[in-house]
Structure 1
Amino acid sequence: MTAPGRRSSTFTRLLRHGFTDPSAAERLLAGEELTGVRSDPVLLEALGATADPDLALGGLVRLLEAQPDPAARRGLLDTLIAAKPLRDRLLGVLGASAALGDHLARHPHDWQALVTYEPQDLHPGVTEFERGLAEADDPVALRVAYRRCLLSIAARDVCGTTDVAETAAELADLATATLRAALALARAAAPDDAALCRLAVVAMGKCGGHELNYVSDVDVIFVGEAVEGADEDKALRAATRLASHLMRICSETTVEGSIWPVDANLRPEGRNGPLVRTLSSHVAYYQRWAKTWEFQALLKARPVAGDPELGEAYLAALQPLVWQAAERENFVADVQKMRRRVVENIPASEVDRELKLGPGGLRDVEFAVQLLQLVHGRTDAALRSGTTLKALQALADGGYVGRADAVQLDEAYRFLRTMEHRIQLYRLRRTHLVPEDETDQRRLGRSLGLRTDPVAGLNREWKRHASVVRRLHEKLFYRPLLDAVAQLAPGEARLSAVAARERLVALGYADPASALRHLEALASGVSRKAAIQRTLLPVLLGWFADSADPDAGLLNFRKVSDALGKTPWYLRLLRDEGAAAENLARVLSAGRLAPDLLMRAPEAVALLGDGDGRAGSGLEPRGRAPLEQEILATVRRAAGAEQAVTGVRGVRRRELFRTAAGDIVSSYGTETQPAEADQGALVDRVGAAVSDLTAATLAGTLRAVVREGWGDDLPTRFAIIGMGRFGGHELGYGSDADVIFVHEPREGVEEREASQAANRVVAEMRRLLQLPSADPPLLIDADLRPEGKSGPLVRTLKSYAAYYRRWSLVWEAQALLRAEPVAGDEELGRRFVELIDPLRYPADGLGDDAVREIRRLKARMESERMPRGADPKLHTKLGPGGLSDVEWTVQLLQMRHGSTLPGLRTTRTRAALAAAREAGLIEAEHAGTLDEAWVLATRVRNAVMLVRGRAGDTFPSEPRELAAVGRYLGYGPGHVGELLDAYRRTARRARAVVDELFYGA
């Protein structure tokens, strides 16, 4: 016995052989089960070669204990020591799979299935597995026979006799044999049903693709037909009973556990559809109703059991439809959206451990390969394999994928699939999560051949391969397009011109010939610029394809690159700052406004970078104070008023681009930042940014005019009052600046001189701001002044007071609800507000006559101003539930209660609505309905301006423009109809609230 504190030589040897609990291993070796071999170096070396020597030794002892007598135990030990193939197989399985160790302990003779080591045993097929299952005459016996066959597959796998692709194919063949055996049991149990129908079992998913996991749902589709002379309805019911029984045989848990779930949810209509359909019913469904992902799933369809002729007829009927799927509208977008949806549904706590579904996981490889197969398999039958690795090789051979990319992706996929196999093999449980426990990671790393620091090695290799997949899975689709036009690798198979056009059309490019010319111009040559473009374009093309107008995105990128391509910082920005390239792609393909602004100031691309480290932080709108400071500094440097306003316009152009780009990026989202969920916050941000910019622009223009005409000594105080959406901080991209002008003569200045000066200021401001320019116009609209267009353009404060005291109409008081000083003399602006407050918030509220007048004016405006031919239900301003409805309702509450409720004394619509809700003037539900409608209508108007480059109050009629508006509002390709329905529904609910609160209905 070893003295306390001293380690025995056996203990040390066990440590050296990889045991993590040498003390426990010593006790097991000292047991009677291992008498005679416990010190045999061959046994220790073989145990040390396994993934988990402790697990292998424990499993061996349990197996020996389970032998029926000492002679059987001795025979097993002798064979184990003498026969290296058996020793490697048996101990390899015991060290990798606790579940198979449990099976051997329950069925102690099954180890003999590992004795045979003949060439024909290396790669058994369906026939050999059928022989192995032949004697199973009930579900329990079938499970035992299945595990015995699985034992031999696992032994070949862990010993390296088969590679991961061969192992997956063997598992699929075993599944095929098992489905046939289960169907035979079901038929034997119901011979009358079997006599009525023909039933074919079509494997889908990994089983159909000959790439099954150790533990996986086996996806199937059932096809049934009546035998000659039988009633079809009765035959289908019989076939359904047989199919259901087959599923129970495989799926139900018995004393021997279960085999695997049989999943028929890929059938037409999924769980809601009949389990068994006739062939004609299947064909009719796929011709009329099937979605893109259902054709994608059919890529792997393979008849495996039941009536072989019926199975082949199913395949022959549906395969042609599979290869037409890429012609469907929004095909690529549908496939990519399905992939994104899978990722989004992964629990946040698991996404970093998800081997199959997470970013850089197995599904990324499979989706990328399937996408290319569906696009190019129409014309190239060599691509029509259901097996991922075979399809990837065929894509590389045909030039559809670069060979180097294909090799890297093949290696990564094999490594990740092997990880998945070994994780599942341990407990024979369906999981794709990399274990967190260090012991499990150690066993997993050793099973992959990583013996030096297996935990660190496992994580290093896993992350490396996942990174390769993340980098290549999108690039795989786009890189060959560049190789086709750049022609830099003459020895490699290259995408043909026809295939390149096919791929671009599938991506949504309406003019593939022009797109190829743009790619050639951007990516050809050996310059540094072309090399960087070739690196950027694969991902940029993907982002363009995710938009409503890929052609515009690519064209605009070429224009920007032509303008800035020789500027070193431009390419460096796109290459090195992760957010910049994606932000640029989103902006360039989102419509006309932002790209047009950028084309006139290409250096504004710099705003798209990471800035202070937050993605797109350069797109945060600047506040009023810094804007005005910069604009006034620009005016000071200018030689004259026209030059000053040209400089002011330059600042406005850049800042409009900043706001529009930030709006687009926040609305669309990026790979690193999801789309902003709070639509109201987006509207408020744009409204405040454009209003602040307009105010600063007017302040700068005012300073330029005064400076040129009077130095800094204008003979009258002068203030600009924002009205309407301007005063409410709610301007959109295409809004006019509603204003009124007020002045007050300085001491000692005659009123006539002061008025002349004030009118000259206004006239000159309007002239300067209307000088011909490619920039979005800034129109000053002063029609809300007293007496409207027929009244003086500028009044003194005293004149305003006299007019409002004697002549003011109710609509003028209502218009003043959103009056707020925006530029000029601050003290004068404050006094103007003091003047109008009693008018807009009358102390006694509104009388019935005033309320009736407001309602009459509202009804008149709806009838007279609605454009001829416009659909009122989709008119965002004047239509039912539109902006006017919400604003007039809120303003009526303000005029009635503003004198007693300070919260209502605001120029902002949403703030006033919130105050009315808090004061109990409107129910919370009604307030929410009005707020939602106002925000949506404002978002639509902003979207129309961003997309078309000109203002509009209705949805565009041109399909691409409408799709772009939908994309901005969060409705992906093919879902514009849902947007229009949502708008009508939201507006309808708002109008019901307006009818109650405004019209008193």
Structure 2
Amino acid sequence: MTTPGRRSSTFTRLLRHGFNDASAAGRLLDSPELASVRNDPVLLDALGATADPDLALLGLVRLVEAQDPGGPETPDERHLLLDTLLSSKPLRDRLLGVLGASEALGDHLARHPRDWQALVTYEASDLHPGVEEFEHGLAEAVDPVTLRVAYRRCLLSIAARDVCGTTDVAETAAELADLATATLRAALAIARGAAPEDDALCTLAVIAMGKCGGHELNYVSDVDVIFVAEPVNGAAGAEGADESKAMQAATRLASHMMRICSETTVEGTIWPVDANLRPEGRNGPLVRTLSSHLAYYQRWAKTWEFQALLKARPVAGDPDLGEAYVETLAPLVWQAAERDNFVPDVQKMRRRVVDNIPAAEIERELKLGPGGLRDVEFAVQLLQLVHGRADVSLRSGSTLDALAALAAGGYVGRADAAQLDAAYRFLRAMEHRIQLYRLRRTHLVPEDERDLRRLGRSLGLRTEPVTELNRAWRRHAAVVRRLHEKIFYRPLLDAVAQLAPGETRLSADAARERLVALGYADPAAALRHLEALASGVTRKAAIQRTLLPVLLGWFADSADPDAGLLGFRKVSDALGKTPWYLRLLRDEGAAAENLARVLSAGRLAPDLLLRAPEAVALLGDSRGLEPRGRDHLEQEILAAVRRADGAEQAVAAARGVRRRELFRTTAGDLIGSYGTEESPAEADPGALVDRVGSAVSDLTAATLAGTLRAVVRAGWGDELPTRFTVIGMGRFGGHELSYGSDADVLFVHEPREGVDDQEAAKAANQVVAEMRRLLQLPTSDPPLLIDADLRPEGKSGPLVRTLKSYAAYYHRWSHVWESQALLRAEPVAGDADLGRRFIELIDPLRYPQEGLGDDAVREIRRLKARMEAERMPRGADPTLHAKLGRGGLSDVEWAVQLLQLQEGWAEPGLRTTRTREALAAARAAELISTEDAEILDEAWVLATRVRNAVMLVRGRAGDTFPSDGRELAAVGRYLGYEAGTVGEMIDDYRRITRRARHVVEELFYGAVG
């Protein structure tokens, strides 16, 4: 009799061993069947180590109950089981591990109580059985019922190795596939034995597809197959009647084989055999000849059908016919990526699968949901089909083997592959253990707490099984989701898929022919670059071999493919030992295409990149090419200045930031103008012009602020004896700097309280001189020249004045041209309060009350006429000069500025330093018609883009179209013109600026009667 104290002690001990229902467990341990072992600590420890000790104990009691108790002449099988269980740790771990993880296998053992002996053997040959061993285990099966029993006995041994950790998840999946192979062979043998007359008419082969074909089967899954058959004579000239009879016989054999595996008997079912992956699916004939299969795949097959054939593997029936099937269709599989819209079709198919998941299940869907197993499989298969055309090492039906090959070949980053491998293994292990419990086909994570606890413990999570399971599951799913998006939707994939057959790996002769066809002017030099980049067996060379065929096409879509390839080699050489560089191009968004566009569009951006090659990283981030604001730039530059030793080092640091940010701006401009597959060309050229003008102006202002701070720190420490500010003028003040513009400025100072005027003036002049010296130090960067010629008295006047001096000058001596110049004045660096007061000083000059008088208007007209006559370069075509020519920048700006001088006092919208904003305000105020405003705006934007294009293409500033053919073509590409249409570009420019000149003449010269 059990005492209360003993019951309490037992209850506590059972809870400590992981039992969920200690009371029920205690009653089971007190049952007569376990009387001899109820107090054995070895048994309790073994039960406590299982996924579900309660389930394991119940299964053990049922198994012991089912044993023959023996008699006078027969042994007691109960004692044999328990004695063997306690004396053999391998058996104990295997048997109890299975009973604690699988209710279904516990039921099987209760029905077939001697099958536990299949777990006794623990020899090396037993650890990893193959098809032959499983065939031996199924050899005695003569009908569907005995086949099921033998199948479950073999499954029992697989599950035992799995739950004990003797095999990993990939090995378990492979064993399940091998058992399925043996089962299909046994079922086919039974079907043949039942119909020898059919067997005599045909040769039949069974091709495994899906997870069975890929050696990665689940515990419970449809086994996908395709049947191929031939008449027994197999001759090409076989009579039609013979073939028809053979196909009918083969269909009967195949149908019988499927029923043997799929139908439910007293022993349950094995698994459904699914032949719906065959040509035409369930609407097509179950069995076809090899020639019929080939004809279908050549003419009618859809993209997904070739994807399915990746895993095709002959498993039963005639092995020669099975191999012939795979060998015949393999070339079609590896040509599938060349089909129109191949990559988008595969991507759409994956999205459709997700869209069809019921909303209530999507968060629990382990296989099909976002971040699930199918995400890994689809990503791997897509990469295989695209790159496996040329690389036979990728042609594996196994997901994990193919993933390892993709990583070894450089198609997937090693870190990404390792994370995907780990996530896939974990998710497949979850799937295995969920299915193992009741041997039901499901991919949904259970919701019941006890089920989750058993699942977590089965995966080795013992402290807080449910919490740990959910955390690990969500972490791995998030990794899969992130990497699936990164790899599966990689733009490079579609580009590689679109290459013609053979172009993914080029021989020297083929490469030369392709280079000539693509328009490379010097194919010999290009071949040397290709050889230098892609030769060898290193991972770097392997990735380059993937990238280069695509990059060659992108370079060719420019005016100068040779320059693009040369630039790519230089950047690759500079970053050759940087691990992230090639990984970025292969993996991140449109980075590779962006780089190709930038390198082949001219000299400025590549020159900037070669001096700061790490800026390549900007090309991989969708936000990386967005210009940074002035505040952020100034903060970074000022921080760099603080860290520097001395003014020259400080300005060098500021130049480094400027170099990187100029590259950011030029790259964004080029890609916005050229467009890529991922980011089409921007439709609004004005938006590009505004973005470039603001970015370059902000960068110039931040650089001047940093230079000013460096000069003050080096000469005076924390504070200059006089307040000092820099006023931006011209395009600088108007936020309209182009890549090659000088920075027009005024310098203003104001002595601090108690500081002598002469001391203040000396300090201010020293600051200006030192700023100019530092900014003019020799450098390979684009120059940053500050021009103070718009100051009072021009070149003859002092470089810097006090605010009072400016006030006195403007009061007594100011000319109308100075009022016009001050329209663009805006503080850009230095003392903000002093800058604000300078603006307050000049506002009455630039927005004069009641506007300009007639004399002032005539003076402005005279000045403009003089400028056109004197400043136009000798020999320049006035119809093509972007700055001073007909309808160019100067024409539009003088017309707009005249409106500002005349009407700015009354129209607040005109009080802006920006040309396009002022023009829009004039239109809003009905000072100019909408049509005329649009004509002027279009001409101004076009002329600005021409100047930017010239600088981008030639690497030096210019106001006219280049005379060199390649450079002119590159300008055309920037402006959106296709190759061979530069004549159209010139005609358009002349037409647009001619219309603008007509508006300017009416507006500017018709202002005064």
TM-score range, shorter chain: 0.5 to 0.7
Q: State the one-letter code of the partner of 2:688.
A: L
Shift of 1:745: 1.3
CA distance in 2, matches of 1:466, 1:753: 72
Is 1:410 aligned with 2:338? no
Q: Name the SS of the counterpart of 2:1005 in structure 1.
A: coil
User: Which residue is equivalent to 2:603?
Assistant: 592
Q: Name the SS of the counterpart of 1:792 in structure 2.
A: coil
User: Which residue is equivalent to 2:523?
Assistant: 512
Counterpart pick for 1:534 among 523, 545, 564: 545
1:642-681 → structure 2 map (5 Å cutoff): 642-681=648-687
User: Which residue is equivalent to 1:905?
Assistant: 911
Shift of 1:413: 6.7
Q: State the one-letter code of the partner of 2:736.
A: E
Counterpart pick for 1:605 among 594, 611, 616: 616
Q: Name the SS of the counterpart of 1:694 in structure 2.
A: helix
Is 1:788 aligned with 2:799? no
Change (3 A) 1:932 1:466: farther
Shift of 1:579: 2.1
Is 1:896 aligned with 2:907? no
CA distance in 1, matches of 2:666, 2:950: 12
Counterpart pick for 1:944 among 950, 954, 960: 950
Is 1:965 aligned with 2:976? no
Is 1:855 aligned with 2:861? yes
Q: Name the SS of the counterpart of 1:849 in structure 2.
A: helix
Q: State the one-letter code of the partner of 1:571.
A: L
Shift of 1:586: 1.3
Change (3 A) 1:544 1:408: farther
CA distance in 2, matches of 1:822, 1:471: 46
Shift of 1:975: 2.0
User: Which residue is equivalent to 2:566?
Assistant: 555
CA distance in 2, matches of 1:692, 1:414: 48
Can you list the C-alpha shifts for 1:213-258, whole angstroms capped at 9, x where unaligned? 99xxxxxxxxxxxxxxxxxxxxxxxxxxxxxxxxxxxxxxxxxxxx
Q: State the one-letter code of the partner of 1:517.
A: R
Counterpart pick for 2:582 among 571, 588, 594: 571
Q: State the one-letter code of the partner of 2:640.
A: T
Shift of 1:500: 2.6
Shift of 1:960: 1.0
Shift of 1:162: 6.0
1:116-265 → structure 2 map (5 Å cutoff): none
Shift of 1:689: 0.7
User: Which residue is equivalent to 1:754?
Assistant: 760
CA distance in 1, matches of 2:962, 2:352: 56
Percentage of identical aligned residues: 73
1:716-755 → structure 2 map (5 Å cutoff): 716-755=722-761
Is 1:522 aligned with 2:528? no
Can you list the C-alpha shifts for 1:928-961, whole angstroms capped at 9, x where unaligned? 1111111111111111111111111111111111
Shift of 1:512: 0.3
Shift of 1:866: 1.1
Q: State the one-letter code of the partner of 1:501.
A: R
Q: Do the aligned partners of 1:873 and 1:984 also contact (CA within 8 Å) in 2?
A: yes
Deviates most, 534-543 or 502-511: 534-543
Can you list the C-alpha shifts for 1:298-355, whole angstroms capped at 9, x where unaligned? xxxxxxxxxxxxxxxxxxxxxxxxxxxxxxxxxxxxxxxxxxxxxxxxxxxxxxxxx8
Shift of 1:981: 1.8
Shift of 1:515: 0.4
Q: Name the SS of the counterpart of 1:818 in structure 2.
A: coil
CA distance in 1, matches of 2:652, 2:381: 53
CA distance in 2, matches of 1:570, 1:167: 44
User: Which residue is equivalent to 1:818?
Assistant: 824
1:2-17 → structure 2 map (5 Å cutoff): none
Q: Do the aligned partners of 1:944 and 1:950 also contact (CA within 8 Å) in 2?
A: yes
Counterpart pick for 1:920 among 901, 926, 931: 926
User: Which residue is equivalent to 2:627?
Assistant: 621
Q: Do the aligned partners of 1:720 and 1:822 also contact (CA within 8 Å) in 2?
A: yes
Counterpart pick for 1:580 among 579, 591, 597: 591
Shift of 1:815: 0.4
CA distance in 2, matches of 1:790, 1:407: 80
Can you list the C-alpha shifts for 1:773-800, whole angstroms capped at 9, x where unaligned? 1111100001111111111111111111
Q: Name the SS of the counterpart of 1:777 in structure 2.
A: coil
CA distance in 1, matches of 2:632, 2:626: 13
CA distance in 1, matches of 2:601, 2:608: 13
CA distance in 2, matches of 1:680, 1:700: 30
Q: Name the SS of the counterpart of 2:873 in structure 1.
A: coil
CA distance in 2, matches of 1:669, 1:882: 26
Shift of 1:415: 12
Aligned-CA RMSD value: 4.1
Q: Name the SS of the counterpart of 2:707 in structure 1.
A: helix
Q: Name the SS of the counterpart of 1:941 in structure 2.
A: helix
User: Which residue is equivalent to 1:34?
Assistant: none
Q: Do the aligned partners of 2:629 and 2:698 also contact (CA within 8 Å) in 1?
A: yes
CA distance in 1, matches of 2:575, 2:244: 72
Change (3 A) 1:463 1:525: closer
Shift of 1:86: 12
Gaps of at least 5 residues in structure 1 are 1-41, 43-78, 89-153, 170-210, 215-354, 362-402, 421-432, 442-452, 485-494
Shift of 1:463: 12
CA distance in 2, matches of 1:83, 1:598: 69
Change (3 A) 1:157 1:934: farther
Q: Name the SS of the counterpart of 2:741 in structure 1.
A: coil
CA distance in 2, matches of 1:898, 1:736: 27
CA distance in 1, matches of 2:294, 2:991: 53
Q: Name the SS of the counterpart of 1:823 in structure 2.
A: strand
User: Which residue is equivalent to 1:828?
Assistant: 834
Q: Do the aligned partners of 2:338 and 2:498 also contact (CA within 8 Å) in 1?
A: no
Q: Name the SS of the counterpart of 2:559 in structure 1.
A: coil
Q: Do the aligned partners of 1:591 and 1:948 also contact (CA within 8 Å) in 2?
A: yes
Q: Name the SS of the counterpart of 1:872 in structure 2.
A: coil
User: Which residue is equivalent to 1:238?
Assistant: none
Q: State the one-letter code of the partner of 2:796.
A: S
Q: Do the aligned partners of 1:728 and 1:907 also contact (CA within 8 Å) in 2?
A: yes
User: Which residue is equivalent to 2:263?
Assistant: none
User: Which residue is equivalent to 1:841?
Assistant: 847
Q: Name the SS of the counterpart of 1:578 in structure 2.
A: coil
Q: State the one-letter code of the partner of 1:410.
A: Q
User: Which residue is equivalent to 1:501?
Assistant: 512
Change (3 A) 1:405 1:475: farther
Can you list the C-alpha shifts for 1:952-988, whole angstroms capped at 9, x where unaligned? 1111111111111111111122222222222112111
Counterpart pick for 2:883 among 871, 877, 882: 877
TM-score between both structures, scaled by the size of structure 2: 0.54
Shift of 1:503: 1.3
User: Which residue is equivalent to 1:769?
Assistant: 775
1:301-316 → structure 2 map (5 Å cutoff): none
Q: Do the aligned partners of 1:719 and 1:828 also contact (CA within 8 Å) in 2?
A: yes
CA distance in 2, matches of 1:161, 1:662: 54
Change (3 A) 1:836 1:168: same
Q: Do the aligned partners of 1:718 and 1:744 also contact (CA within 8 Å) in 2?
A: yes
Change (3 A) 1:985 1:412: same
Shift of 1:641: 0.8
CA distance in 2, matches of 1:774, 1:632: 22
Shift of 1:468: 4.0
User: Which residue is equivalent to 1:933?
Assistant: 939
Q: Do the aligned partners of 2:939 and 2:993 also contact (CA within 8 Å) in 1?
A: yes
Q: State the one-letter code of the partner of 1:519.
A: L
Q: State the one-letter code of the partner of 2:898.
A: L
Is 1:692 aligned with 2:698? yes
Gaps of at least 5 residues in structure 2 are 1-197, 199-239, 250-282, 308-327, 357-367, 387-491
Can you list the C-alpha shifts for 1:469-491, whole angstroms capped at 9, x where unaligned? 6947746758957845xxxxxxx
